[in-house]
Amino acid sequence: MLSNLDVLPMPAWDLINIYNYRSIWMRQQGYFSLNIATTRGCPFKCNWCAKPIYGNKYNTRDAVSVVAELYMLYTEYDACHFWVCDDIFGLKPGWVTEFNKLLKTTNIRPKLKIQSRADLLLKEDTIKNLIESGLDEVWMGAESGSQKVLDAMDKGTTVQQIYGATKLLKKHGAKVCLFLQYGYLGENASDIALTLKMVKDLLPHDIGISISYPLPGTGFYNKVKEQLKEKQNWTDSDDLAMLYSSTFSPKFYKYLYSYTHNFFHLQKNKYFLLNITKTISELNKNQFKIILKLPYYWLSQKLGKLKLIILQIN
């Protein structure tokens, strides 16, 4: 596998009709966002993660070349937002500090959306450097609010780190989004309750939920492969399918997925209502919608809880 990524030329952005793409972004979102990649691979060992493209190695582009690419995209195509599609952004010690320093020598101020881990975010001045470099949104692989489940996954992070990193990032104004996963081996009702508690305590900007999926080649797959029946991959199952015999039924996990989304929206809307400082006449359309949806989320959550209890028994 190529380890020196700097021998590669700059991506051939000129080969695509970027102006058409830009006009769609501007029409839909009011700003233009592009993807860039600064690294390949991930050295961590979460035992359900396939990492099929770049494997366990982690290689980083030089910060100089990344800043040069951002500069070109910002000045030539007016892209002001970048979704960095690395598994893990800025893992190499000192990389984020150098990136921040270099970016400051330019006159561009891009906004960044990245993926990272709680333990890395808490290292030294990482959050400070990321914020100064324009961090707007970070998707953290939190997975679970239960330490028992994180340890079973070989995640290598702690619930305390997830809480610490989220609070610090939010304090600095970054949007924190959490990837969550349900249905891992040994996860029971109290572990699920801890994940819901984490969502309530941390009030992330957004959440992404998956159901544990045994991907061939992973340690998790090896543990459950005897239980896999006719459904073994995405051509004959969907991404919320529970393929092995977990604590609860497949129906339970499908329902837990929508229950958690409702629960999340209820907490966010409640928080908004409790902290509102405006009068009714000062609210805009979106803020009105948040308040109007509260009874719906409240009722859905009550009924959902009941349904989950019934599904647990069946």
**Residues lying near ligand SF4 in the complex (CB under 6 A):** 42, 44, 46, 49, 51, 87-88, 117, 141
Phi, psi of 230 (to 5 degrees): -70, -25
DSSP letters spanning 80-135: -EEEE--SSSS-STTHHHHHHHHHHTSS---EEEEEE-HHHHTSTTHHHHHHHTTE
Of 181 and 247, the one with the shorter C-beta distance to ligand SF4 is 181
209 membership: H or E segment, kind and range: strand 206-211
- Strand 111-116 to 81-84 pairing: parallel
Q: Report, in Å, the least distance between residue 39 CB and ligand SF4.
A: 11
Q: Which residue, 141 or 250, has its beta carbon nearer to ligand SF4?
A: 141
Shortest spacing between CB 300 and ligand SF4, in angstroms: 30
Is the CB of 117 or the CB of 268 nearer to ligand SF4? 117
Residue 46 vs 198, nearer CB to ligand SF4: 46
In the complex, minimum distance from the CB of residue 65 to ligand SF4, in angstroms, rounded to a whole number = 22
Distance CA 62, CA 147 (A): 35
The residues, ordered by sequence, that sit 6+ positions from 51 with a Cβ below 8 Å of its Cβ are 41, 42, 87
Instruction: CB nearer to ligand SF4: give 113 or 265.
Output: 113
Q: How far is the CB of 35 from ligand SF4 (least distance, A)?
A: 17
Residue ranges of alpha helices (H) inside the chain are 18-29, 63-77, 95-104, 118-121, 126-132, 147-152, 159-171, 189-202, 219-224, 250-274, 285-313
The distance of closest approach from Cβ of residue 230 to ligand SF4 in the complex, given in angstroms and rounded to an integer, is 27
CB of 308 to ligand SF4, least distance (A): 27
Token readout for 77 is: 């195509």
Do residues 143 and 155 lie in contact, with contact meaning Cβ atoms separated by under 8 Å?
yes
Between residues 40 and 51, which has the closer beta carbon with respect to ligand SF4? 51
Query: Which two tokens mark 244?
Result: 């092995």
Alpha carbons 55 and 49: distance in angstroms, whole number: 10
Amino acid 23 reads: S
Question: Which H or E run contains 267?
Answer: helix 250-274
* CB of residue 42 to ligand SF4, shortest distance in Å: 3
Q: What's the min distance (Å) between Cβ of 146 and ligand SF4?
A: 17
Q: Which two tokens stand for residue 140?
A: 């953290």
Q: Which residue has the tokens 């493209």?
A: 53
Q: How far is the C-alpha of 213 from the C-alpha of 233, rounded, in Å?
A: 9
Q: Which is nearer to ligand SF4, 32 or 44 (CB)?
A: 44
Residue number with CB closer to ligand SF4 (117 or 205): 117
